[in-house]
């Protein structure tokens, strides 16, 4: 059996200017080089758009991959303020976060728009990190699985390319300091695994399913030890190099 492969991704959200990002990455790189990481662990960071260029340059010879936090659902044209998949590829971006709960709620992104973004990302060689997750109200109403199933089914409708990462991020756990219990997280990850194998067959069992929502150094090890949790999408804790590395070191 192949050893478990992990992916740990930092989502910086709207934090760090280009100069702050460069300084941060310059501290992160040597820590990663000497960080005593296991085989099969991949790391990625998702800075704001304005820092992608300078961070891409710094990451050129490192093992850390670069991700973006969003992209436009259109190829190019009159979309003032938007960033296209081709623009991201040109900056050596590999991953793109799509459908983060902050985009779904604050910017009213629909399942249909998220589906378009997944398609355009894959068509340009970017790996989507598709975020799904229920609100507290939906969980308390017993609808958590139904919500996650709807988000995944609509976002991945007619998608056949398994190069896609899913991040299960219960909305009530994001930035709140409230982490899902390992049982809640593992149960939802197993449910998602079932949906992926239904759609992608054997490839579905190798797709990454990350947990996101107040993952920290003190809870990462037990979450990452769960059979269907293959990594983490880290918000707050990814802004501190020591914490981000500490979480990554829990992946073994």
Q: Residue 99 or 212: which CB sits closer to ligand PEP?
A: 212
Q: What is the CA radius of gyration of the chain?
A: 17
Q: How far is the CB of 237 from ligand PEP (least distance, A)?
A: 6
Distance between CA atoms of 103 and 114, rounded to whole angstroms? 10
Decide if residue 210 touches ligand PEP (CB under 6 A): no
What is the SS3 assignment for 127-172? EEEEEECCCHHHHHCCCHHHHHHHHHHHHCCCCCCCCCEEEECCHH
Closest to 103 measured CA to CA, from 127, 133, 79, 126? 133
Q: How far is the CB of 95 from ligand PEP (least distance, A)?
A: 13
From 30-38, 120-128, 145-153, 207-215, span contacting ligand PEP (CB under 6 A): 207-215
Q: How are beta strands 95-98 and 165-168 bridged, if at all? A: unpaired
From 75-83, 141-149, 168-176, 244-252, span contacting ligand PEP (CB under 6 A): 168-176
Distance between CA atoms of 14 and 107, rounded to whole angstroms? 14
Distance between CA atoms of 201 and 217, rounded to whole angstroms? 34
Distance between CA atoms of 151 and 149, rounded to whole angstroms? 6
Closest to 55 measured CA to CA, from 27, 88, 90, 18? 18
Per CB under 6 A, which of residues 3..42 are in contact with ligand PEP? 11
Using alpha carbons only, give the angle 36, 212, 127 rounded to the nearest 5 degrees: 80
Decide if residue 68 touches ligand PEP (CB under 6 A): no
Decide if residue 213 touches ligand PEP (CB under 6 A): yes
Decide if residue 69 touches ligand PEP (CB under 6 A): no
Q: Are 128 and 115 in contact (CB under 8 A)?
A: no
Q: How far is the CB of 248 from ligand PEP (least distance, A)?
A: 14
Among 214, 220, 241, 244, binds ligand PEP (CB under 6 A): 214
Residue whose entry in the numeric block shows the structure tokens 């409708």:
157
Decide if residue 212 touches ligand PEP (CB under 6 A): yes
Among 27, 123, 140, 175, binds ligand PEP (CB under 6 A): 175
Active-site residue, selected from the candidate residues 100, 115, 124, 189:
100
- Is residue 76 part of the annotated active site? The answer reads no
Q: How far is the CB of 113 from ligand PEP (least distance, A)?
A: 19
Decide if residue 169 touches ligand PEP (CB under 6 A): yes
Distance between CA atoms of 88 and 66, rounded to whole angstroms? 10
Per CB under 6 A, which of residues 222..251 are in contact with ligand PEP? 233-237
The length of the chain in residues reads 252
Size of the site for ligand PEP (CB under 6 A): 13
Active-site residue, selected from the candidate residues 109, 169, 189, 208:
169
- Is residue 100 part of the annotated active site? The answer reads yes
Residues that bind ligand PEP (CB under 6 A): 11, 169, 174-175, 212-215, 233-237
Residues designated as active site:
100, 169
């Amino acid at each position: 059996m192949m050893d478990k492969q992990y992916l740990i991704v930092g989502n910086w959200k709207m934090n760090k200017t280009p100069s702050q990002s460069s300084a941060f990455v310059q501290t992160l790189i040597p820590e990663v080089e000497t960080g005593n990481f296991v085989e099969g662990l991949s790391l990625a960071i998702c800075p704001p758009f304005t820092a992608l260029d300078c961070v891409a340059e710094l990451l050129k010879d490192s093992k850390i991959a670069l991700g973006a936090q969003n992209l436009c659902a259109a190829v190019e044209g009159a979309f003032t303020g938007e960033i296209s998949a081709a623009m991201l590829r040109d900056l050596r971006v590999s991953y793109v976060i799509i459908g983060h709960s902050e985009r779904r709620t604050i910017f009213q992104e629909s399942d249909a728009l998220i589906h378009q973004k997944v398609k355009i990302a894959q068509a340009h060689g970017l790996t989507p990190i598709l975020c799904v997750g229920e609100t507290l109200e939906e969980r308390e109403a017993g609808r958590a699985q139904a919500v996650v199933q709807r988000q995944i089914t609509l976002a991945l409708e007619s998608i056949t390319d398994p190069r896609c990462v899913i991040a299960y991020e219960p909305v009530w756990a994001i930035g709140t300091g409230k982490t899902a219990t390992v049982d809640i997280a593992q149960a939802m990850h197993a449910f998602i695994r079932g949906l992926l194998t239904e759609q992608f067959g054997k490839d579905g069992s190798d797709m990454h399913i990350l947990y996101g929502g107040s993952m920290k150094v003190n809870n990462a090890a037990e979450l990452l030890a769960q059979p269907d949790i293959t990594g983490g999408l880290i918000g707050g804790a990814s802004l501190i190099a020591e914490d981000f590395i500490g979480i990554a070191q829990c992946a073994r």
